[in-house]
Amino acid sequence: MFEYCSDPRSLEGLQWLSCYLTTATHFSFYWSFLTVLTLLAVTAPLALAFGFAGASAARSHVLPVSWLGRAYIAAVRGIPDIVFFLFFVIALDQGIEWFRHLFVCEDLSQPVWNNGEFRVCPAAKVPANDASPFMVSAYSFTLAVTTFAIVFGAFAANVLYGAMTAVPRAQLETAEAYGMSHRQVFRRVLVPQMWIYALPGLSNLWLILIKATPLLFLLGIKDAVYWARELGSAKTSGNNPYPHGDWRLFYFLALLVFYLVSTRVSEILLARLTRRLSRGQATRAGEDMRKGGAAT
Amino acid sequence: MTCWETFQAYSLRSLGYGERLLPREGYDLCQHFTLIGSGLIWNIYFGTLALAFGFFLANALALAKASRSRWVRKPAEWFIFVFRGSPLFIQFFLAYETLVLLPKAGIDIFGITIQTAWTTKAWAGALFVLFLNTAAYSAEIFHGALQSIPKGDLEAAEAYGISGWKKFSRIEWPTMLRLGWPAYTNEAIFLFHATTLVFFSGFPAFQQRGDALYYANYFADKTFNPFIPYPIVGFYFILITLALIWGFGRVNRYLNRHLPSNMKARIRLRPSLIR
């Protein structure tokens, strides 16, 4: 990057560090943080949409739809989310290929799952064998985002379902008394009012989502964890211009700081909200606040 | 191989007993259930011990966080913040990389050599991380409960002349546990879920002795069929979740035994904690 970096072996101290931290691979590391933020930005609304669909389904008057919604919400409660992450990435991939296999391939005589192999005809492969590297990584990123959205959608569905039942019954009854249909009550009264009840749960979910992003590494994305392991491992071979020992500890410390800062910013907002809600409550926190207010 | 033989060969495989080689063929349901169930021993080991040790540290941390003294409060706040604010996945990596850097020959303290090799093993290192992690999360729950003790209870205690240690041990602490228990139940459930991360985060599975998800992943890699092993893991974890809800529900009933039945806190499962 800098001109004096042409011969790193002659450099010392800070100059060496400035060169070391601006190598091409380090820029991949910095870009991977953008991957994390992109994932957050794309997943959050998508998970909210999944959650909204799940919560609405669970409230449905049609029994099978209601069961489907409830099963969706209940599944992630009892089963570790990592199982879902590992499962959905393969399952989605195979599902798409199998679906294409049924329509694209001519020879359907062979079973797709056979003796420990999953085999579809070349035309049904996703991404195609001759796809560009960008397409391949875009495909795996899309799979990862979908997986995140499915899992976190279930958490969001749980929060939104709770919020929907928390809207005072009288509000809905008044709307019904004015002659609104079920659909109108849902759209005009229930949905606008539920957000205030869903807010604490959703902000908690946001924190959880931030902390789940390193799991991208398990889904085979070259994210910050991947690069931290890659760059931090000992580089002692002769042709490496920047030899160093095992520095993975420092890279993971940097990651730790990144995540602490991101959650801290969200937490400050949460703390403000909690403070606002405990004001005037007959609890210890509220009492301390009252006494503290009287003293000053 | 009959199912009984498979069971004999693999039921304790995760602890290093029985057949050395993992199954290379067949991959029938019996093998799936036996080997994944064998891995579950590790999940139960991590979950139970981390929870048991973490409970005590969590109580201490919650009290420290509620302390009026800055010197006691600040360290507790920072500890809780660091462990709750960062992903468990990163904590595992960080702990492993730190423990690897310890001198291989052991540390000399007053002439006694303390071995360090065992700390990088999952049974010790990962357990330690899980212990600190659950202590931080539980401390936050207990601290919240401590703040929510009804002031009437405290005033009543003072009116009867109960103060100091007696007030804490007979009024504050039981009430704190009672109020925090439903949330603590959820924390316990999600701690068990978090144990599946151990062998995916730096800690190597020595001689392929892994947990339930490790073996499920092994089967999924071998058969290219995720639709059998992962639901089996799910099935086992639903059993664990139900057992936890039952056990913690018993304690919850005990803690609430003096209250009229319409005021008792019910345990509601809320997926509010993932690490």
pLDDT at A284 over 70: no
**Is there a contact between A260 and B82 if contact means CB atoms under 8 Å apart?**
yes
A1 pLDDT band, cuts 50/70/90, is: low
Over 50: is that where the pLDDT of B106 sits?
A: yes
For B62, phi then psi, to 5°, come to -65, -40
Higher pLDDT among residues A235 and A176, named by residue: A176
Q: Report ipTM for this prediction.
A: 0.83
CATH code given to domain B27-102+114-263:
1.10.3720.10
DSSP summary character for residue A5: G
- pLDDT above 90: residue B53: yes
Statement: residue B273 has pLDDT above 50: no
- Residue A274 pLDDT level (bands cut at 50, 70, 90): low
User: Any idea what DSSP says for residue B169?
Assistant: I
- Chain A CB contacts of B90 under 8 Å are 214, 225, 252, 255-256, 259
Average the pLDDT over B156-178 and give the result: 92
Question: Taking CA atoms, what residue in B is nearest to A161?
Answer: B270
Q: Is the pLDDT of residue B265 over 60?
A: yes
Query: Is the separation of the CB atoms in A214 and B89 below 8 Å?
Result: yes
pLDDT on residue A282: 52
Least-confidence region, from A148-157, A223-232, B32-41, B51-60? A223-232
Mean pLDDT of B108-132: 82
* pTM of structure: 0.85
Mean pLDDT of chain A: 81
For residue A267, pLDDT beyond 50:
yes
Q: Is A197 helix (H, G, I), strand (E, B) or coil?
A: helix
Joined together, the tokens standing for residue A108 give: 């359907």
Amino acid (one-letter) located at A223: D
Mean pLDDT of A1-18: 71
Whole-angstrom distance, CA of residue A98 vs CA of residue A120: 7
Q: What pLDDT score was predicted for residue A116?
A: 64
Please give the Cα distance from A38 to B21 (Å, whole number): 43
What local confidence, expressed as pLDDT, does residue B62 receive? 94
Facing B274 at nearest CB: one of A211, A249, A263: A211
| Residue B275 pLDDT | 47
Answer whether A76 touches B (CB < 8 Å): yes
Split at pLDDT 50, 70, 90, the class of B69 is very high
How far apart are alpha carbons A183 and A190 in whole angstroms? 10
Residue A115: the pLDDT is 65
Which of A259, A264, A284 minimises the CB distance to B90? A259
The stretch A251-267 carries a mean pLDDT of 89
Q: Looking at residue B271, what is its pLDDT?
A: 47
pLDDT in tens, A81-138: 888 888 888 888 888 888 888 887 777 777 777 666 777 777 777 777 777 888 888 8
Tokens matching residue A41 = 């930005």
Amino acid identity, position B188: A
Cβ-based neighbours of A13, under 8 Å, separated by 6 or more:
none
- Residue ranges of domains in chain B: 27-102+114-263
pLDDT at A80 over 90: no
The span from the CA of A264 to the CA of A152, in Å, is 21
Interchain proximity A252–B196, CB inside 8 Å: no
* Cβ contact A47:B239 at 8 Å: no
CB proximity list for A140: less than 8 A, separation 6 or greater: A219, A220, A221
Report the pLDDT value the prediction gives residue A249, as an integer from 0 to 100: 86
Query: Of A88-102, B77-91, B147-161, B187-201, which range is least confident?
Result: A88-102
Say which residue, B268 or B5, is predicted with more confidence: B5
Query: In this predicted structure, what is the pLDDT of residue A50?
Result: 94
Per-residue pLDDT, B42: 93
Position with higher pLDDT, B96 vs B266: B96
Query: Mean pLDDT in chain B?
Result: 87
Q: Facing residues of B150 across strands?
A: A283
Q: Which of A79, A249, A283 sits opposite B98 (nearest CB)?
A: A249
pLDDT: which is higher, B109 or A166: A166
Q: Assess whether pLDDT exceeds 80 at residue A238.
A: no
Chain A partners within 8 Å of B147 (Cβ):
278, 283-285
Q: Report d(CA B183, CA A163) in Å as an integer.
A: 18
pLDDT at res. A99:
84
pLDDT of residue A296: 47
Which residues from chain B sit within 8 angstroms of residue A215, using beta carbons? 89
DSSP E strands: which ranges in chain B?
Answer: 107-109, 112-114
Residue B1 has pLDDT above 80, yes or no: no
Which of the two residues, A5 and A96, has the higher pLDDT score? A96
- Contact call for A211 and B275, based on CB within 8 A: yes
**Six token digits for residue A278:** 């405990």
Task: Give the pairing of strands A117-118 and A113-114.
Answer: antiparallel
